[in-house]
Amino acid sequence: MGTPAVLPLDGLLHVFSFLEAPDLLRAAQVDKVWNEAAECAFLWRRLSLSRWTFCNISQASKGAQTWKQYYLHRSQLEHQMALGRPSQDFTCKAISGHEGKIDGMAYLSAIEQRFDGQEKSVVCTVSADCTVRAWNVQEGTQIWSSSVQPAPLRRLLTVPEHRLVITMDGRGTIKVWDGQTGKEQATFITPSTWCNLVLCGVPENPFLTVAITEGVLYTLTVPCLKEVSQVTAFQNCHIDLLLCSPDKNWILVGSTETPDVLVFHTDSLTRRSEDKPLSNSLPVGECRNASWAPREAARLIVLHEDRTTRNLSVTTFDIASKQSKNKVEILAQQVASFILPESSRTPHILESHGSDVILLGCGSGLTIFSITGNLLASFQDHHQMITSIWVDNFRVVTSSQDTSLRVYTWKREKNTVVLKSCYHLLGGSHRWSSGFTDVACDNMSIVAVETRKCGKSILKAYFFNL
């Protein structure tokens, strides 16, 4: 008998490309040749990118993690997040320091972190005590605090790529802060006591669009806050909705005081020009809420009243531009539409997942629909009103006035993504707590704002252990 044929390395890599992670780990134990093939970065990169939309892995520094380490660390972390066993899977810290109610919270660190221990989860908050602060989530400590400002701080945005924090106070003053030191960098004063804020433009060159009570949009450079454009979207109407698309090319502008819902092309807002900004009105009735589908460049999901029946409906549009002769038009192609059933007629929160999944907060319940109106799931895990919903590629977390968070995870079953209800994370006693008002996550932690009956707020941080 002849010597058995041995596959060359390229042949093994081709065969191993069909294997899942457990099979690769077993193959690596066969012999030296198989081990070399099973350790190949190409295989683990393929597994990582097929499982997760974005993977934050850097080879720029010595000792940076490999694709295999990234895959195994992130898989283990998500397993622990799905189980949620106190002490064993996560540690909980109560973080206090503000002397008033927290009105805004956002991660300053990247939502998708590396697992090499070189990054820390950092959250920023603004409060009625007139300060903005940064917190180390793992340690439960304050990193820095601003000086006391002339008015309570009401809104907060962060720019993780540039380590910047943007705030708006009760007098309509907008400021940019250095996220590492807390030093004030720039100021812009609006003529309004209320503003809505959204970031647009590419990460390398961001802009800030500001909507004021009078229906006017200002677009400013970041970090210098120099005015680029000023546009009247609605005459003397309060702008409730201000949302930028995932591809950063479109901004939705809506008001409950007018039936019009406008979509602006961001290029026409971020470039100095005498021409009228490019915009179009969506063919819907009174808009109640909206969300951009995160997996699509510009897919907009709108909750609105039907113009004919006055029923509450959800309509989905794909937004695009079309060049024709000497002008550019905005096209809103309807993808799907359905009327909400009676059981879901009072949604106060709208979020989306992937390309075609809608999440509605209806009182104390969470309801999941496809964009075509198929009821995918319905949960009644809370006893009181849901106050916020966090959605990412791995999980959903809801906060409630019942002093609890509920954690759900996405699972793929038969080519369909389903949501599984997992466990509660509990806050303080009803004796002194008014419940959770906001929640946010990165891939290593969950942070929520818990408001006390005395009027102050604290942060509850749940950090998952590797």
Is it the case that residue 303 has pLDDT exceeding 80? yes
Lowest mean pLDDT among 1-5, 298-302, 365-369: 1-5
Q: Which range is most confident: 7-16, 125-134, 334-343? A: 125-134
In this predicted structure, what is the pLDDT of residue 56? 63
Share of the chain above pLDDT 90, in %: 57
**Structural domains for the chain:** 9-79 (1.20.1280.50)
pLDDT band of residue 63 (cuts 50, 70, 90) is very low
Q: Average pLDDT of 93-99?
A: 93
Which has more confidence, 120 or 227? 227
In this predicted structure, what is the pLDDT of residue 53? 60
The overall average pLDDT reported for the chain is 88
pLDDT digits (tens, 9 = 90+) for 413-459: 777 788 999 999 988 777 888 999 999 999 889 999 999 988 899 99
pLDDT digits (tens, 9 = 90+) for 201-233: 888 899 999 999 889 999 999 999 999 999 999
CB 55 within 8 A of CB 29: no
CB 132 within 8 A of CB 122: no
What the block records as the tokens of 21 is: 């992670």
In this predicted structure, what is the pLDDT of residue 211? 95
Distance CA 182, CA 113 (A): 22
Is it the case that residue 376 has pLDDT exceeding 90? yes
Is it the case that residue 194 has pLDDT exceeding 80? yes
Which has more confidence, 6 or 183? 183
In this predicted structure, what is the pLDDT of residue 65? 67
In this predicted structure, what is the pLDDT of residue 111? 64
Look up residue 282 and give its amino acid. Answer: L
Is it the case that residue 39 has pLDDT exceeding 80? yes
Query: CA 77, 80, 86, 88: dihedral to nearest 10 degrees?
Result: -80
At residue 23, φ and ψ (nearest 5 deg) are -70, -40
In this predicted structure, what is the pLDDT of residue 335? 97
In this predicted structure, what is the pLDDT of residue 466? 64
pLDDT band of residue 64 (cuts 50, 70, 90) is low
* Contacting residues for 205 by C-beta, under 8 A, at least 6 apart: none
Share of the chain above pLDDT 70, in %: 92
Which has more confidence, 81 or 423? 423
Residue 363's nearest CA partner among 377, 378, 352 is 378
Q: Average pLDDT of 147-160?
A: 96
pLDDT band of residue 356 (cuts 50, 70, 90) is very high
pLDDT band of residue 60 (cuts 50, 70, 90) is very low
pLDDT band of residue 153 (cuts 50, 70, 90) is very high
Neighbours of 426 (CB within 10 A): 13
Q: Average pLDDT of 148-165?
A: 96
pLDDT band of residue 59 (cuts 50, 70, 90) is very low
In this predicted structure, what is the pLDDT of residue 17? 86
In this predicted structure, what is the pLDDT of residue 455? 87
In this predicted structure, what is the pLDDT of residue 58? 57
